[in-house]
Structure 1
Amino acid sequence: MAESKLCPIIFLCCLVSICLLPCAISSDGQETFIVHVSRSLKPASFSSHRHWYASIVRSLPSHHRPSKILYTYTRAIRGFSVRLSPAQAAAIRRVPGVLSVVPDAVRHLHTTHTPRFLGLQDSFGLWPNSDYADDVIVGVLDTGIWPERASFSDEGLSPVPSSWKGSCVDAPDFPSSLCNKKIIGARAFYLGYEAARGQTMKASNASYSPRDTEGHGTHTSSTAAGSRVVNASLFGYALGEARGMAVKARIAVYKICWSEGCYDSDILAAMERAIADGVDVISLSVGANGYPPPYAFDSIAIGAFGAAERGIVVSCSAGNSGPDSYTAVNIAPWILTVGASTLDREFPADVTLGDGRIYGGVSLYAGESLTEEKLPLVYAAECGSRYCYSGSLDSSKVTGKIVICDRGGNARVEKGNAVHIAGGAGMILANLEDSGEELLADSHFIPATMVGQKAGDKIRAYARSDPNPTATITFRGTVIGKSPSAPRVASFSSRGPNYRTREILKPDVIAPGVNILAGWTGYIGPTDLETDTRKVEFNIISGTSMSCPHVSGLAALLRKAYPKWSPAAIKSALMTTAYNVDNSGAKFTDLATGSESNPLVHGAGHVDPNRALDPGLIYDLATSDYVAFLCTIGYSPKLISVFTANTSIDCDAVGLKTPGNLNYPSFSVYFSGRNKEVNYTRVVKNVGKEKDAVYEVNVTAPPGVYITVSPSKLVFSEDKDTLSYEITFESVISNAEIENLSSTKGSHGSIEWTDGGSHRVRSPVVVLWHGSSVEAM
């Protein structure tokens, strides 16, 4: 335990020292490398490890000045850091006992890390220009909140906004005094839950209050609008400063989810209350399982329509049912739908096999490290349960060994607990094909790590083929850098096409949702297992539930910067300024496949807050436009009245001809049957400082499609800030060629309007054909 907690401190000390030296390749061609060694393999001829390291360095080819050991390590890692040329680094990798040779990287002292990763700065951009969303109210519909956390301090905040009309419940375990200028309201909704279960909350020993006993709501609330907290971490991992996206925004808590789920009746009651209370943004990391219901039977869609009608931005998670197609939920066009991506921060925990091979994994294990001596390795399929179900492992085959467990079937942390109960010494959690190379860090009870499918396949093969397989796990703390590249799209992130309306692309954007640090409940431990008695201030978890509040907070910042903007305008700004390349300059990778992602997976792209502050043009929408959309997809006036109080709707007068004509910031085109041409119309508004701006279009046509935009130039003026354009999509491939789209899942491109300066208003284009694999799914 002590050794793991020391890791961040040691890295900090190294950072201070290393930064006095060149941190990149110097003029002599050398750079700093960290050499990880197996201390147990030190030859007996050396009196100490330091002497052994020095001998290794002296044995290297001296193409440049002699290499110099900078540090030796015994606690954070086992090994040393040294200046090497590329040739020397290659040579040292071949030395017996050397486990890995990793290029050094500059570390920074910060934690949730997403503000920095998103480019948010105190000195410029969206944060200062929005005054950190002061007075904006974010309604979080979730499992409640643990109000005593430092993330909910109201120090330095102005009085409660006069627009707030809500209240704070007074309950035995949640007195109203716990509300302050940060948590300005807290209520619980449980009647639907009680009715469905046939017993009162009291009978089930549950609390009627908004206190969070699950952790989820505290995590999402602090992500969206948590106050600044220094020295935040989980067992020393991700140590640094934590902030929510909208640091000064106020939080209104609506507890809608309980131990057995969240009921529509309670969700709608909470939305109703939130609208009446005067919230500006609703953050909802809840959704349907399986395919999304029709809009008219989707309580979240209906409630969100009412909120949008009153100017409230509704941000929802896309779901965690990826990587299958058609899995995105919360897909109504008036909802801001968010998928999940990775950060440039990892928690590496490497597997070293008995034959010397090393495979990278991730872990948040914080207990005593494994001994340097490798332990016997066994595959759980040979011990009673490949998925490591509790009670199914044969102790006689597991005791004292590292166990390989396949991902799936039960919770990841439950697998480690099952290994622990059976007497195992450690666990390697190996992905299967459906999870690919997606790595999610967990705070396991025993030394454990998760590896991707490729590594998992090789580790299993080794365990089955070697007569005496052995392994160990090395935990390397917190690492921030460009390898692996980021962002990448999480395998679990639900994706399109839109199951209900192909012409509306979903999800809308992606945001950080993998291994996110944020506040946690004091009721349960970080793994949510009954046997986990540890209590933590912060926890690191993953899901589109984590990406949603990031975007909710960004929406709050934009609401403060532009109080007169509609929810659609805020969504447009986030979508058209999103980016589509990672920090290596390559297009996003989809972790489910290891291949290039596409808009069906990541929507318009990854949110870019500072660019969203100045989008140039916006695609705006009003309630009447959504009504026209519902008319166009065949909803009767009677059915539409489920969404709006207006009962005098004439669908013949307001229809859009095609759902794709909704003034959406993205394009999804569907060629059905013999139809070879699709025409859409869009309207854009100039919101830039230059009133006489001129925008020209750049088209990247998807393969198999010819695109025409008319006009190709938009000339704005003081008197004309809104202009329209028409876009024609023409299919130019044969029916036989359509069948070959099975591997590409449609065709993708983009349309971008630029003023020749800083504004690039980009919309993704997705094209589907009747008969293609995506359409047929």
Structure 2
Amino acid sequence: MASRRALLLLAAAAILCVCAAQCRLAHAWKRSYVVYLGAHPYGRDAPLEEHERATESHHELLGSVLGSKQLAKDAIFYSYTKNINGFAAYLDEEVAAEMAKHPDVVTVMPSKMLKLHTTRSWDFMDMEKDGQVLPDSIWKHANFGQNVIIANLDSGVWPESSSFSDEGMAEVPKRWRGSCPGSAKYAVPCNRKLIGARYFNKDMLLSNPAAVDGNWARDTEGHGTHTLSTAGGRFVPRASLFGYANGTAKGGAPRARVAAYKVCWAGECATADVLAGFESAVHDGADVISVSFGQEAPLADTKSFFHEPVTLGSLHAAIHGVSVVCSAGNSGPFDDTVVNGAPWVTTVAASTVDRDFPNQITLGNNIHMKGMSLESSDLHSNKLFPMVNASGAALPNCSAELASNCAMGCLDPPKVKGKIVVCVRGGDIPRVMKGMAVLSAGGAGMILANGKMDGDDVEADPHVLPATMITYSEAVSLYKYMASSAYPVANISPSKTELGVKNSPSMAAFSSRGPSGTLPFVLKPDIAAPGVDILAAFTEYVSPTEVAADKRRSEYAILSGTSMACPHVSGVIGLLKAARPEWSPAAMRSAIMTTARTQDNTGAPMRDSNGKEATAFAYGAGNVHPNRAVDPGLVYDITPDEYFTFLCALGFTTKDLSRLSGGKFSCPAKPPPMEDLNYPSIVVPALRHNMTLTRRLKNVGRPGTYRASWRAPFGINMTVDPKVLVFEKAGEEKEFKVNIASQKDKLGRGYVFGKLVWSDGIHYVRSPVVVNALG
């Protein structure tokens, strides 16, 4: 531990030196921008001279505006020369505006910060049972993802985790170009499992130098380690968080090779660093790129489509046949909050698994309430403790709102000492930090009370004192009891692990919902996957300046978020890549979507966090069912040219897309409507009278005859032509049309939901149908 702290102190000193130099540059310029020029005409195997020539062209282009090639070299801090053509530079606002007018420039985007979207799950998805791999498990079909390469753009990796051991693994595939660069002091060691670890922080050093903790790919936050091990971690027996969720930790593709690209620092990810990570991962040879971060809110409009680095970087990945999987965001349960909505990425929502960590609150009136926690200590079961509402225990220098959120230093010790403190869930204060605030003020325990928007969605946390979280309805009852009693008292029991919880999965309240305000023609999210209380590897980093009360460390942690749902699907796509290497990224997404489940473990429709039936705006096509995805029967495939045609319909020009495609694409004279993109879901966001949509199915199984059946959305007449498709060989494609017509007396009801299913009696290829009838 002493040597690790010494290393970190050296790193901190090095950062200060770098920051000093970079900050001097920051005073000379105003802001970092990415100048995007499209794609390079050469392929992955281009000689080094081509990359050098591209860099030189960037210096010349910017120099032509700045008046000096040397000034351009000083300003540019990333030159994208592999698959993305462009550069990142610190520029004056006027210079950026001038660059945007240049005929060779597709777009100029100002740098902005993206946010991180932060065991039992594979068993729950029927890939194993009681620790044994099932005969029809996709793990067997895909040899556990043997030699597939999963790249993770996140906060880095903790390489010492057992999840990244290379014991028994063969040599690294020769097609891999990545590495673990860095000096002896700061390098993350590679092995035959963890085959790459790079960091990108130049934009962050310019934008927020205090956030950068070192010139290394080492994960000091834990988020990147957790997501990467969920996607491709090894089997690790006897993993737990302080005894909870005890079992074998495992990633979706446990025999896959993994690579970490650290583009996020202190929970934020800067535009130019993200693009550099995408370019490197594609060039290095990744098969799947997992991205558990994104904007806090959807894009304002399609004009700013290429001002978003995940949208742009993932398009270049898709063009090169690399699957990109993204988290949907944590801004639910509100509608129109989904992010990462481009049609060439797979966007993942978060659902629950059938495991809870319940404990119990006993009130002085003998009422019992169920809570959720990972704290095993108790408050002496034979004693009731006085309770206080945190809002009524504020120090004079704190508002009642801050106190109700249990902000550190806002609780008056004489008012909370020896008491159970009721804190409001939410705000910008992490839940465990609320418990630290209560403990530091002398509180005996804590109850986190959900607000109305949180509903019944509760999460388990490893608190530092006896604590629990309760639903909104339970919170209302608790407040009523406290108001009715002159001396309210309670006790909190230790929590336990409960398996087989009914009505699972359900949708997490925090998971962002559709429709996509930016692209309402494409259903987002695409799919739901486990994202609540997920056990996976974590960092054991100890900051040399750490002063927080919680100094506990564990190799594994339990986290919740669409960040945790995303790598589940990344792992499944890794398995599909191993089992079906000839499939395109679009085919793999289709296989996952059309085989998804929309029912819980009781056979009832999946529920939302408020207890009502969930819709496609919450879960997309449904909850992922990996074993079915390896044999879907039919898929909706999409080529890069079809994505380009979709962009033409959005208003992008042949000039724009010619640059993006390396001069190989021109917009058709009349692009088909955006609703005709060959997506596995059908969305009509503004139906006026009637509309006919076209789709195309490809046979990826045996010859067969597929018949269509459907349930039209309420108030909609729907027909399919033809109703029967006969496939005589693998790879054969057939087109069909769907006619959607509104019933005049059912208008104005908003979005309504139905489904279309093609079946040969063995396979059931299901697509959600979503319509908003306006006239």
Task: Determine the structure 2 residue equivalent to 1:221.
Answer: 228
Aligned AA for 1:477? K
Moved more, 305-314 or 404-413: 404-413
Provide the rounded CA distance (Å) in 1 between the counterparts of 2:312 and 2:231: 23
Partner of 1:400: 418
CA distance in 1, matches of 2:635, 2:243: 43
Aligned to 1:632: 649
Q: Using a 3 Å threshold, how does the CA distance of structure 1 residues 665 and 281 change in structure 2: closer, same or farther?
A: same
Partner of 2:553: 535
Partners of 2:730 and 2:370 lie apart in 1 by 59
Say which of 201, 220, 223 aligns to 1:190: 201
Pick one of 203, 208, 212 that aligns with 2:219. Answer: 212
What is the deviation of 1:269?
0.4
Alpha-carbon distance, 1:336 to partner: 0.3
- Of 131, 142, 153 in structure 1, the residue corresponding to residue 143 of structure 2 is 131
Cα offset, 1:260, TM superposition: 5.6
Residue 370 of structure 1 and its aligned partner are, at CA, apart by 4.0
**Partners in 2 of 1:428 and 1:728 — Cα distance?**
53
Provide structure 1 residue ranges, at least 5 long, that are not aligned to the other structure.
1-111, 772-777
| Offset, 1:265 | 0.3
1:542 offset after TM fit, Å? 0.3
Letter in 1 for 2:193: K
Residues 1:387 and 2:413 aligned together: no
Instruction: Tell me if the contact between 2:387 and 2:489 (Cα under 8 Å) persists in the aligned partners.
Output: yes
Q: 1:618 aligns with which of 612, 615, 635?
A: 635
> Superposition pairs for residues 568-607 of structure 1, below 5 Å?
568-591=586-609, 593-607=610-624
- Superposition pairs of residues 208-607 of structure 1, within 5 angstroms: 208-259=215-266, 261-292=268-299, 294-367=304-377, 369-384=379-394, 385-409=403-427, 410-483=429-502, 485-524=503-542, 530-591=548-609, 593-607=610-624
Contact 2:201–2:212 (8 Å) recurs in 1: no
Q: Does 1:116 align with 2:127?
A: no
Contact 1:296 1:642 in 2 (8 A): no
1:509-534 deviation per Cα after TM superposition (whole angstroms, max 9, x unaligned): 00000000000001159xx9833211
Q: Is the 8 A contact 1:173 1:209 kept in 2?
A: no
Relative to 1, partners in 2 of residues 1:733 and 1:601: Cα closer, same or farther, differing over 3 Å?
Answer: farther
Q: CA deviation at 1:507?
A: 0.1
Would the alpha carbon gap of residues 628 and 578 (structure 1) be closer, same or farther in structure 2, given more than 3 Å must change? same
Work out which of the residue numbers 707, 713, 738 in structure 1 matches 2:718.
707
Give the structure 1 partner of residue 64 of structure 2.
Answer: none
Residues 1:641 and 1:356: Cα distance change in structure 2 (over 3 Å): farther
Deviations 1:420-447 (A, max 9, x none): 1221110110100111111111111111
Give the Cα separation in 2 of the matches to 1:523 and 1:224. Answer: 21
Q: State which drifts further: 134-143 or 256-265.
A: 256-265
Amino acid at match of 1:496: G
Q: Is the 8 A contact 1:306 1:644 kept in 2?
A: no
- Partner of 1:556, secondary structure, is helix
Q: How far, CA to CA, are the matches of 1:205 and 1:610 in structure 2?
A: 41
Whether 1:649 aligns to 2:676 is no
Q: 1:660 aligns with which of 659, 675, 696?
A: 675
Superposed displacement of residue 169, structure 1: 1.6
Q: 1:735-750, aligned counterparts within 5 Å? A: 737-739=746-748, 741=749, 746-750=751-755
| Residue of structure 2 in register with 1:755 after alignment | 760
C-alpha distance in 1 between matches for 2:474 and 2:266:
36
Alpha-carbon distance between aligned partners in 2 of 1:284 and 1:208, rounded to the nearest angstrom: 21
Q: For the Cα contact (< 8 Å) 1:173–1:211, is it kept in 2? A: no
Distance 1:269 1:421, change over 3 A: same
Asked if the contact 1:406–1:430 (Cα under 8 Å) also holds between the matched residues in 2, the reply is yes
Is this contact kept in 2: 1:292–1:330, CA < 8 A?
Answer: no
One of 682, 694, 701 as aligned partner of 2:705: 694
% same residue: 43
8 Å contact kept, 2:204–2:273: yes
Q: Which moves more between the two structures, 250-259 or 378-387?
A: 378-387
Q: Closer, same or farther in 2 for the Cα pair 1:137/1:162, shift >3 Å?
A: same
RMSD over aligned Cα atoms: 1.8
SS at match of 2:423: strand
Q: Within 2, Cα distance between the matches of 1:401 and 1:720?
A: 68
Return the alpha-carbon distance in structure 2 between the equivalents of residues 373 and 324 of structure 1: 41
Q: Take 1:678 and 1:495, find their aligned partners in 2: how far apart are those partners?
A: 25
TM-score by length of structure 2 reads 0.80
Q: Distance in 2 between matches of 1:628 and 1:336?
A: 19
Query: Alpha-carbon deviation of 1:624?
Result: 0.3
**2:693 paired with 1:680:** yes
1:149 aligns with 2:171: no
SS in 2 for 1:306: helix
Tell me the CA shift for residue 719 of structure 1: 8.2
Conserved 8 A contact 1:703-1:747: yes
AA of the residue aligned to 1:446: L
Aligned residue pair count: 638
Could you tell me how far 1:482 is from its partner in structure 2? 3.0
After superposition, the C-alpha distances for 1:151-209 in whole angstroms (9 at most, x for unaligned) are 11111212111111111123345445x21111001110001111113x4x7xx772111
Aligned residue in 1 for 2:733: 722
Asked if structure 2 preserves the Cα contact closer than 8 Å seen for 1:351 and 1:474, the reply is yes
Report the Cα offset of residue 652 of structure 1: 1.4
Asked if structure 2 preserves the Cα contact closer than 8 Å seen for 1:600 and 1:766, the reply is no
Equivalent residue of 2:372, what SS? coil
CA–CA separation in structure 2 for the residues paired with 1:427 and 1:618: 51
SS in 2 for 1:361: strand
Q: What's the TM-score once normalised by structure 1's chain length?
A: 0.80
Aligned AA (2:142) = S
* Structure 2 CA distance for partners of 1:651 and 1:369, relative to 1, 3 Å: farther
> Cα distance, 1:372 vs. partner?
2.6
Q: SS at 2:590's partner residue?
A: helix
For residues 452 and 642 of structure 1, the distance between their equivalents in structure 2, rounded to whole angstroms, comes to 52
Matched letter for residue 713 of structure 2: P
Q: Does the C-alpha gap of structure 1 residues 393 and 617 become closer, same or farther in structure 2, counting only changes over 3 Å? A: same
Cα distance in structure 2, aligned partners of 1:205 and 1:227: 29
Q: CA deviation at 1:371?
A: 4.2
Instruction: In structure 2, list runs of 5 or more residues that go unmatched.
Output: 1-118, 395-402
Give the AA of the match of 1:659: M
Give the secondary-structure state (helix, strand or coil) at the position aligned to 1:211. coil
> Structure 1 residues 610-619 or 376-385, which shifts more?
376-385
CA distance in 1, matches of 2:249, 2:312: 35
Amino acid at match of 2:772: L
Output one character per residue of 1:436-460: Cα deviation in whole Å (capped at 9) or x when no partner: 1111111111110001100011111
Task: State the shift of 1:124 in Å.
Answer: 2.9
SS of 2:273 mapped into structure 1? helix
Q: Partners in 2 of 1:648 and 1:559 — Cα distance? A: 27
Residues 412 and 476 (structure 1), Cα distance of their counterparts in 2 relative to 1, 3 Å cut: closer
